Structure 1
Amino acid sequence: MAHNTSSDSDNEIITTQSKSFPHGKSIHEVLGGGKVADVLLWKDRNISAAILVGITAIWFLFEVVEYNFVTLISHISITTMLVLYIWSTVADIFKWNGPKIPETILKDSFFEDLAFNLQRRFYQLLQVLFHISCGTDLPRFLLIIISLYILSEIGNYFSFINLLYIGSICIQTLPIVYDRYEEEIRNLAEHIMIDIRRKYRRFQKTYLNKIPRGPVKEKKIK
């Protein structure tokens, strides 16, 4: 009965913790709530699709065509300059409007928002890793160690470009998948965490609690 009671308490704790993000925030607010969040959640489909196509094109050029970075930048610059030159020449002949830099490119709010969100998420990640590394949550500590080891093994079979491309695809797909199937993903995460904690309790009871420990010395009060 004691085991069932502890299991039920774990279920309640995990269910309560996983009902929402910290302070009841939605995934849009967790992602920053700005233009970056809109892009990641595909609220502006044109920009999100353009970024996805651009990332795929870069991956194709580097990984499939095996372009060198300097060569690729040079060829893109040459092509862009030729297109702008021809466009300007034709515009002068037919009295059309010449090429102009889009205002969206000139605005730096998007890039500032992106840099701010990346810096904040990186800082939060460092805090979480430091907190877990101090031994406050051994099951989660072991889970992260195993995950990092699996990631290191995966890195032996994929190039950096492939890993970067896979990571970029995940960044653009996982938030929208979570937003649409939030309840199902939370339920799955609850069951996984319950199973991990149950196995850890069994491991602790079978092995850790049987490790002999020396007597605790009382401090002498002078």
Structure 2
Amino acid sequence: MPDWKKPLFDRDDVEITRRLTLYKDFFRVDKISLKHRMFEGGWTEDISRELFLRGPAVGVLLYDPERDTVALVEQFRAGALTGPGSPWCLEVVAGMIEDNETPEAVALRESVEEAGVEPYRLEYIARYLPSPGGSDEVMHILCGLADLENAGGVHGLDEENEDIKVHVIPVSEVFDNLYSGRFNNASVLLCLQWLQLNHSRLRGSQTC
């Protein structure tokens, strides 16, 4: 078996020697000291890192195979204030996983809260780490097959200060503009690329 298919080390090969919480509010930041095994033998010296603790989250691409449209949400993102373009981003529906929730349960809940849409079928796409150099966030992405005929409008929870606009877009337009810069976050790009690869299969399953 090629050595890249299975990591040489695991969590037992890391020793955390100190942890200090620097900040805790909506998010949490810890400062940790650790050492880990090295590829050529031995252990590193103590390494200091700040770790942004965000936890697991879910993103779900809403797709209507009958009408060949997707529903994407647009909302303000503080993290995009210093980047190029607008801080209002086009995204897939997303939310955090609470205790004892499955990614599928979160996908269904957030689809209703953020888009007013209830998928009739979910397909799991992938699990990935958005920024493993400094955050513990784990992102699960899924595709939610749904009837988008009446989708649209503004949604979100008032108590969470959400102001979310739903756009229903023909898939052909999305694919033609996939790399225009309008889709500028990892989850939406990965989901739409997956949709490109699975488009014909999903179109054929529209009556399932």
Q: Give me the TM-score of the superposition, normalised by structure 2.
A: 0.20
Higher helix share: 1
- Which one has a bigger Cα radius of gyration? 1
Higher strand share: 2
Greater relative contact order (Cα 8 A, min sep 6): structure 1 or 2? Answer: 1
